[in-house]
Amino acid sequence: MGKAKVLIVDDEPAYRDTLRLLVPYEGYEVETASTEQEALDIAARFSPDVLVIDWMLKDHTNGLKVAEKLRADHPKMQVVVISGYPAASLEQRTRSFSSIQFLTKPFALNDLFQAIRAALVTREP
């Protein structure tokens, strides 16, 4: 198996660009998107193993709705939700997702790397 593929979806350029530059140092192939449509287009050709997505995108799109759409085509894809909202208030809204993880912004890069590694272990058959 090649490098694991991580799709990062965040409408905040600072987060998106920083993660695009740093996540590959952990050995992952990375693509980024800032909107739902961009994420859907990229995922169609990229087939992500892990989706790291902001809870609320500027186009008022809920990150979980985007994740649901992507999971329809990529059922093994794991999800890490990043958000400025406290994780506890979001967890209730994600009961339909198995093995979803949350990180509250701002988060340490090491926490993100740990979440991606845990998602990949969960993804293994």
Domain that holds residue 20: 5-123
The CATH number of whichever domain residue 74 belongs to comes to 3.40.50.2300
**According to the model, what pLDDT value does residue 21 have?**
97
Cα 5 to Cα 27: distance, rounded to the nearest angstrom: 9
* CA-closest candidate to residue 70, choices 61, 58, 78, 82: 78
DSSP 8-state class, residue 58: T
How many percent of the chain have pLDDT more than 70?
Answer: 86
Task: Answer whether the bond into residue 106 is a cis peptide, omega within 30°.
Answer: yes
* Mean per-residue pLDDT, 98-122: 89
DSSP 8-state class, residue 97: S
Domain count, the chain: 1
**According to the model, what pLDDT value does residue 95 have?**
57
* Mean per-residue pLDDT, 94-103: 71
* Mean per-residue pLDDT, 82-92: 69
